[in-house]
Amino acid sequence: MTGKAGINLKKSMNNPVFRIAVLMIAVGIIGSVVMPGKFLTEANFASIFKQLSEYGILALAVFICMVSGGIDLSVVYIANLCAIVMGTFLSKTIGSGNYAGSPALMIAVACLSVFVIGCICGALNGLLVGRLRVPAMLATLGSGQLILGISTVITKGQAITGVPSEFTKLAGIRFWIFPLNFFVFAVCAVVMYIIMTRTTFGIRTFLIGSNSRAAVFSGIQNNLDLLKAYMISGFLASVSGIISVMRMSSAKPDYGTSYIMFSILICVFGGTNPNGGQGNVVGIVLATIVLQMVATMMNMFHNISSFYRDIVWGALLLIMLIVNYIIDNRHVTRR
Amino acid sequence: MNEKILSVENISKSFGGVQALDNVSMEIRAGEIHCLSGENGSGKSTIIKIISGYYKPDSGKICIDGKEYSEMSPSESINHGIQVIYQDFSLFPNLSVMENLSINAEVARGSKIINYKRMRETAQQAVKKINLKVDMKAKVADLSVADKQMIAIARALVHEAKVIIMDEATASLTRNEVNSLFRVIHQLKEEGVAIVFVSHKLDEVFEISDSITIFRNGRNVISCKASEMDEERFSFYMTGREIQAKQEKPLVGDPARIMMETRNLTVEGAFEDVSMQLYKGEILGIAGQLGSGRTELAMALFGMATIKDGEILVEGKTVNISSVTKAKQLGIGYVPEDRLTEGLFLEQSLIQNVAVTHLGKLSSKFGFYNKRVAAEETQHWIDTLSISPDNRNNLAQKLSGGNQQKVVLAKWLACNPAILILNGPTVGVDIGAKQDIYDLLNKYASEGMSVIIASDDILEIKKICNRVIIMKGGRINAVLCGEEITEKALVEASV
Amino acid sequence: MISIKKIFNRTETYVILIALLFGIAVETVSGQFFSNTGMVNLARASMVYLVFGLTEMLSLTCAGPDVSYPALASLSAFITAKIFGGDSYGGSIFIPFLVCMAIGAVGGMINGFIMAKFNFPSLIVTLGTSSIFSGIMYGPLKASNTVLHGTMAQFGSAKLFSVTNPGSGLKADLPLQFLIVIILYLIVFFLLRYTIFGRGLYAIGSDKVAAERSGFKTAQITFLSYTLGGAIAAIGGFMYTCNVGAISPSDLMGGEMIIIAACTLGGIRPGAGLGGLFNVIIGVVLLIMIQNNLLMLGIPLYYQDVFTGAIILIGTVVSVNSLRSHSGIKRLG
């Protein structure tokens, strides 16, 4: 490509966010061509935005851990635990029929308690990865198992039921094509953006992921920042759990285990470096939307079972890794 | 003139648009010690990796044993008798000494099955050649750095080497070990082996080489006999500019104001009973060979050790420097030994690299990081320290060694420390940047900063320190001052 | 000679100690642990996991964790069972065995190719391929529970030997398949110790660049390692399916955690070239012991995950921190 416009295009392709934006437009075009009149509709987009919040928030959780040089494989289990506690708490208070107070108050109390649980789970991860020096993959794999176990003990392996409608009806609130839980996702994304790019904690997290040894030598308290990062991850997981129980009126210990791979896919798609030190929130948000668009598009072909999607996601993950590698490595000088 | 064994002709190599080697040619002769020098980024590492088959050249050819190659594989290179001893040794820490010694030969042989008897014999022969006594079954990870170096050398001698390339081989050796190494090199020379000795240490280069080649900016700027070269010409070819050898006297500190003091300081496994003082405004040297406790003492003063006994005082008050954070609070900064793994965030911009030590100061009142202020500050340091290229958005990995070291320096100078500790400040730094760094340290010391330099570079210590503490075997062996600091005295006190 | 201090510095010592302690605890409660039936049952329960441990160990040694092998094992076993699992097949057991291995090898090649060519974290790559394998199994192949007949079912129930406990009168059978485990371990042992491939695997795990400089064909070795791992995983799936007597595609899924934990507990450092077959064996045996005997100690079924998770976490922490240096200089970063 020659000429000024050509060079600019090539340079822009180096920016991961730009790449995804291009992809998004491409998917939109393909969708409207393949299913004319049905893809670019209000109803369709409403459905897209309704579904993506749960794992979009989980992706944000995995994102901060990845940036710090680690990963969080326990987010789904934390989310489930929180969903179970939330649902059980509400069904035993508002839903029991003996409750005479304001439902909103109870919901608020339940949310706060669940936030605390999420933070505690995150703190466990942060402690393991930071102070106890366990590799993040092993630590979160183990803690995920432990948290799954706790959920199983609470529910005795069953799904919970009886979540009161005062709570679940909140899922139906909509502003134009955006449902309530999308706003939750949006708020989370905005807050994460501010944290990661505008606070010193965010900058430090990037640096720890980039070179944790140099971070210590520069006076950064790695263990403390890692603790915070994983606690944020746990908190976000709890938010995702609340949304999930609100939308589905039930919860179980091993719901959504495929979300983990999906969250990692979103992170990689969004330009996050799996080794740490690089990534941005905008990429995550765009990647979430694009992947949901693709999922919805596949959904429209009713004869394709949901399992074909697993093949697509797996293949997409590998392809994105390779594409990112090729584009980013063209400019690396080996010394 | 000895016969030509290996030559490279018109070799060019670029990485992603950067020209690492530009039409380079070089001749290596049997029984000759050929020194290859150049600053970081000059291309000397690249040409070695091409000769060893690790990289493939874009154009040009390699001639060895009468054969011409446009590219070689590592196995072919080894089979032609080319052995490289890398700066990081390239040993396998989790394997035994015996395996490390013989594995290259086994792989080169091409057989799929390993013959342990054959490997043991190979290993025995290897250590015999340099009279090395070592436990064959020990895991390399458990060995000292010096022993690892010796194993790397022994390994290179296994395969009937015709050309041995030593890449900064003396970086981690004590004087005694360097002498042993040079004895081995001379022995090999007698046997007709060609030695390519890559080094930037002037004294070694002039001590041992028969011929010298200097690379600069990817080009071979001079190849000549050692007798035709002197120190000034060497510096000129390395940097491309005349370096004024500044003959300033080192700064003298103010003994009335003691900035830092240790009393009977002991750290387990590192050093014991160390009592020393740092005067305000001076550049204090801590000398000593590898394992003398020199590096560990510097680290302990920065909060990176658990004190077993004794105490540290800063400006007269006893302090417990329990962590790096505490050290920073006390106004102490630290430029680490290995900037690549300990000092820099290679994939981050210069702005991040400079800002990291004082992010709090760069925030607005609500705790929000102010990128604009950070960027301006970085620009200030780029200009003050002459860091090039001067784009503050550059990633740290794109800079040369000397400029990278300046970035590490900048991030600490930005904290305005009262005490700055530097561990091996000019390791792997080109001559031009070295002088820049010395000038900087002198400037800040004269303005009141107290500086400690831990270094094994005797010339460096002699040049800028008025007082030196020499460590040996974990204890202070001597303290020299002013006129007492001579090369002879320094060497004698360290061995 | 190995000094006492050195023995206590190694993870293996602690693992064996804990295993013994646990065994004594169970023995005290039930009297069944150290009996011959107890031992045979332990061996039988560990079989498939020991095989999977091999696959995981190959990946851990040179790169990092592999989470795709349960899906690959299920997929290979499913395809094999679909073809050979019916009544109509009465031929030799070797043919379905080899077919299963071949499918596993093909799947392993996909992992191997990507890992050899690019420097991606193995966790993420295998997450992707795991999704692909399970997607193929459930999607186009429409996997579902099916009962096995014919040769495969027979093979599953064939016994190597039986033991009877004189005290309790209980019987325990060691399946014929245990022979496969022994043979596999011998083969892998030979490969790891006596071939360039094996030493190369440790070299790559130790320092990939140094391995290349030493002349190892690192791409080839990595590729082979995952291909072999895939074939072994498929064997594990084959054994499991025959054992159970039916194809349950979802049974093995989710089991990657246990094996990775077992390997780490046993002393294998991911991606560092440390640890060998012995570590795999003690790690797996310890974990299986715990899992199977919690009931024996009176712990209800749905508490198992909590216990397993806690033990894994504690074990991992101890394992990672066990080799402390005795220098006063702090390890950082």
Q: How far is C271 from chain B (nearest CA, A)?
A: 12
| CA-based nearest residue to B146, from B157, B163, B132 | B132
The reply to whether B4-239 and B254-494 are identical in fold is: yes
Per-10-residue mean pLDDT, chain C, length 333: 57 74 76 72 86 92 89 90 73 82 94 90 90 84 70 67 64 79 91 89 87 87 95 92 77 77 79 76 85 75 80 79 62 59
Q: Give me A155's structure tokens.
A: 């529910």
Q: Does C302 touch chain A (CB under 8 A)?
A: yes
Interface test with A, best of C209, C302, C308 (most A CBs within 10 A): C302
Q: What is the assigned CATH class of domain A17-27+47-324? A: mainly alpha
pLDDT attached to residue C159? 65
Q: Interior CA angle at B255 toward B249 and B261, to 5°?
A: 115
B112 contact residues in C (CB cutoff 8 A): 195-197
Q: How far apart are CA A198 and CA C291, in angstroms?
A: 47
At B96-138, the pLDDT tens digits run: 898 888 888 888 777 788 888 888 888 888 888 777 788 888 8
At B437-448, the pLDDT tens digits run: 998 999 999 898
Element (H, E) at A321: helix A306-329
What is the average pLDDT value for chain B, to the nearest integer?
Answer: 85
| CA-based nearest residue to A209, from A277, A274, A268, A137 | A277
A132 contact residues in C (CB cutoff 8 A): 317, 320-321
Measure CB to CB from residue B345 to each of A202, A214, A333 and give the nearest one. Answer: A214
Name the residue with tokens 């989370």.
A188
- Using CB atoms within 10 Å of the CB of residue B430, give its burial: 0 to 12 exposed, 13 to 18 middle, 19+ buried: buried
At B139-157, the pLDDT tens digits run: 888 787 777 877 888 888 7
C260 contact residues in A (CB cutoff 8 A): 138, 141
Question: How many Cα atoms are found within 13 Å in the side-chain-facing hemisphere of C206?
Answer: 25
At B301-313, the pLDDT tens digits run: 999 888 888 999 9
Is the per-residue pLDDT at A76 higher than 50?
Answer: yes
| CA-based nearest residue to B196, from B30, B364, B71, B336 | B30
Test C136 with A311 for CB contact under 8 angstroms: yes
Q: Give me B161's structure tokens.
A: 């080497």
Is the per-residue pLDDT at B228 higher than 80?
Answer: yes
pLDDT attached to residue A3? 43
B325 contact residues in A (CB cutoff 8 A): 219, 221
Domain boundaries, chain A: 17-27+47-324
Cα distances (Å, whole numbers) of residue A156 to A141, B485, C298, C305: 22, 78, 16, 11
Question: How many Cα atoms are found within 13 Å in the side-chain-facing hemisphere of C138?
Answer: 18
Taking each helix axis from N to C terminus, what angle separates C277-293 and C36-62, rounded to the nearest 10 degrees? 130
Q: How far is C8 from chain B (nearest CA, A)?
A: 17
Is the per-residue pLDDT at B383 higher than 70?
Answer: yes
List the beta bridge partners of residue B212.
B35, B224
Cβ-based interface (< 8 Å): residues of B facing A: 15-18, 20, 40-41, 45, 323-325, 327-328, 334, 336, 341-348, 352, 355-357, 359-360, 362-363, 367-369, 397-398, 411
Test C206 with B94 for CB contact under 8 angstroms: yes
What is the average pLDDT value for chain A, to the nearest integer?
Answer: 84
At A98-142, the pLDDT tens digits run: 666 777 888 888 999 999 999 999 999 999 999 998 889 889 988
At B418-427, the pLDDT tens digits run: 999 999 888 7
A197 contact residues in B (CB cutoff 8 A): 369
C-facing residues of A in 35-94 (CB < 8 A) are: 71
Q: How far apart are CA B122 and CA B118, in angstroms?
A: 6
Q: Please report the beta strands in chain C, taking only residues with DSSP state E, as ranges in sequence order.
A: 146-147, 159-164, 171-175, 246-247
pLDDT attached to residue A12? 62
| CA-based nearest residue to B152, from B133, B175, B128, B169 | B169
Q: How far apart are CA C45 and CA C50, in angstroms?
A: 9
At B453-470, the pLDDT tens digits run: 998 888 888 888 989 999
Q: How far is B138 from chain A (nearest CA, A)?
A: 27
CB B302 within 8 A of CB B415: no
Under the banding of pLDDT at 50, 70 and 90, the label for residue A335 is very low
Fold that domain B4-239 belongs to in CATH: Rossmann fold (3.40.50)
CB A204 within 8 A of CB B359: yes
C129 contact residues in A (CB cutoff 8 A): 314, 318
CB C319 within 8 A of CB C265: yes
C61 three-class SS: helix
Residue in chain C lying closest to A319 (CA): C128
pLDDT attached to residue A295? 82
Element (H, E) at A179: strand A178-179
pLDDT attached to residue A2? 41
Fold that domain B254-494 belongs to in CATH: Rossmann fold (3.40.50)
Interface test with A, best of B348, B371, B409 (most A CBs within 10 A): B348
pLDDT attached to residue A151? 93
Q: How far is B471 from chain C (nearest CA, A)?
A: 17
| CA-based nearest residue to B297, from B325, B276, B327 | B276
Q: How far is A169 from chain B (nearest CA, A)?
A: 38
Test B325 with A219 for CB contact under 8 angstroms: yes
Q: Which residues of B379-407 are buried (b: 16+ CB within 10 A; e: fewer)?
A: bebbeebebeeeebebbbbbbbbbbbbbb
Is the sign of the CA dihedral B391, B396, B400, B403 positive or negative? positive
At A19-65, the pLDDT tens digits run: 778 777 887 787 777 777 666 676 777 777 777 888 899 999 999 99
Q: How far apart are CA B199 and CA B42, in angstroms?
A: 13
Q: How far apart are CA B404 and CA B431, in angstroms?
A: 14
pLDDT attached to residue C89? 67
Is the per-residue pLDDT at A301 higher than 50?
Answer: yes
pLDDT attached to residue A4? 47
pLDDT attached to residue A13? 62
DSSP annotation of A275 reads T
State which of A77-86, A287-296, B118-127 shows the largest mean pLDDT.
A77-86
Test A264 with C124 for CB contact under 8 angstroms: yes
Q: Does A219 touch chain C (CB under 8 A)?
A: no
Under the banding of pLDDT at 50, 70 and 90, the label for residue B93 is confident
List the beta bridge partners of residue A228.
none
Cα distances (Å, whole numbers) of residue C255 to A139, B346, C66, C71, C244: 16, 38, 12, 10, 16
Test C206 with B93 for CB contact under 8 angstroms: yes
| CA-based nearest residue to A50, from A235, A168, A185 | A185
Test C131 with A258 for CB contact under 8 angstroms: yes
Test B112 with C197 for CB contact under 8 angstroms: yes
A278 contact residues in B (CB cutoff 8 A): 347
Domain boundaries, chain B: 4-239, 254-494
Is the per-residue pLDDT at B476 higher than 60?
Answer: yes
Interface test with A, best of B359, B364, B395, B400 (most A CBs within 10 A): B359
At A167-221, the pLDDT tens digits run: 777 777 777 777 888 889 999 999 999 999 999 999 999 999 999 999 999 999 9
Cβ-based interface (< 8 Å): residues of C facing B: 193-200, 202-203, 205-207, 209-216, 272-274, 325-330, 332-333
| CA-based nearest residue to C106, from C238, C223, C230 | C230
Task: Report strand pairing: B283-287 vs B467-472.
Answer: parallel
| CA-based nearest residue to A317, from C87, C127, B320 | C127
Chains interfacing with C (3 or more CB pairs < 8 Å): A, B
Of A157-166, B373-382, C219-228, the one with minimum mean pLDDT is A157-166
Name the residue with tokens 């107890």.
C38
Interface test with A, best of B345, B422, B430 (most A CBs within 10 A): B345
A-B C-beta contacts closer than 8 Å = 84
Is the per-residue pLDDT at A264 higher than 50?
Answer: yes
DSSP annotation of C91 reads S
CB B381 within 8 A of CB B405: no
Residue B389, preceding bond cis, omega within 30 degrees? yes
Element (H, E) at A175: strand A174-175
Q: How far apart are CA B68 and CA C100, in angstroms?
A: 48
Cβ-based interface (< 8 Å): residues of B facing C: 52, 54, 73-75, 78, 84, 86, 89-95, 99, 103-104, 106-108, 111-114, 116, 267-270, 296, 299-300, 304-308, 342
Q: Does C140 touch chain A (CB under 8 A)?
A: yes
- Using CB atoms within 10 Å of the CB of residue B481, give its burial: 0 to 12 exposed, 13 to 18 middle, 19+ buried: exposed
pLDDT attached to residue C1? 45
CB A181 within 8 A of CB A171: yes
Q: What is the CA radius of gyration of chain C?
A: 20
CB B341 within 8 A of CB B334: no
Residue in chain A lying closest to B408 (CA): A218
Element (H, E) at A174: strand A174-175
- Using CB atoms within 10 Å of the CB of residue B127, give its burial: 0 to 12 exposed, 13 to 18 middle, 19+ buried: buried
B-C C-beta contacts closer than 8 Å = 96
pLDDT attached to residue C333? 55
